[in-house]
């Protein structure tokens, strides 16, 4: 039996696609006899014609994969596309580094470990990119005798 007409009317009334319309197969004879929109509305009210849930992609596999990635899996060299700068921005790398160095220099100056003149010189060197990291700044200061011997 062809129910395409009833399906189309129900889709129009409910405002969904025809593929989402479903019929109660136990009372299919009532659906076959329905020829007007009012008949279809009555069947919808009685629950004989109803809307099926949309068929969507399952997220189950993605969730498992995502949890594994949180633990560091699937992040090896073979997975990576693009240069390192595409994955972590050089600017943000610089910002994190310079903030750490400047905070350390400020701490040294505020605790009277270095004077303001030395602070200014090291600050400018840091801005110029002399130090690759906080540890390279500490190494430079130890080599040039700017830190006390017992300083860690």
CATH numbers and ranges of domains, the chain: 4-51 (1.10.1650.10), 86-143 (1.10.1200.60)
Other Cβ atoms less than 10 A from the Cβ of 10: the count is 26
Residue 138 tokens read as 């500490």
Q: Is the pLDDT of residue 55 over 90?
A: no
CA distances (Å), origin 93, targets 9, 98, 105: 60, 9, 19
pLDDT at 75: 93
Rounded mean pLDDT, 48-60: 94
CA 110 centroid distance within chain: 40
| CB-facing half-sphere around the CA of 110: CA atoms within 13 A | 6
7-17 average pLDDT score:
96
The values of phi and psi at residue 57, to 5°, are -70, 140
pTM above 0.75, yes or no: no
Q: Which two tokens stand for residue 20?
A: 């989402």
Question: Quick one: pLDDT at residue 74?
Answer: 96
148 pLDDT band, cuts 50/70/90, is confident
Residue 108: what pLDDT? 97
Vertex 114 angle, CA 118 and 138, to 5°: 85
């Amino acid at each position: 039996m062809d129910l395409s007409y009833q399906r189309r009317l129900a889709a129009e009334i409910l405002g969904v696609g025809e593929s989402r319309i479903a019929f109660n197969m136990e009372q299919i004879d009532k659906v076959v006899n329905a020829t007007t929109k009012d008949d279809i509305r009555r069947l919808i009210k009685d629950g004989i014609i109803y809307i099926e849930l949309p068929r969507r992609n399952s997220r189950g596999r993605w969730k498992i994969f995502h949890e594994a990635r949180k633990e560091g899996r699937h992040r090896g060299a073979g997975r990576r596309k693009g240069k390192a700068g595409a994955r972590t921005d050089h600017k943000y790398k610089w910002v994190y580094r310079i903030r750490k160095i400047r905070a350390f220099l400020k701490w040294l100056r505020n605790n009277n470990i270095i004077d303001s003149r030395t602070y200014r010189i090291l600050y400018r060197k840091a801005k110029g990119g002399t130090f690759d990291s906080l540890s390279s700044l500490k190494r430079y200061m130890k080599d040039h005798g700017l830190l006390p011997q017992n300083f860690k």
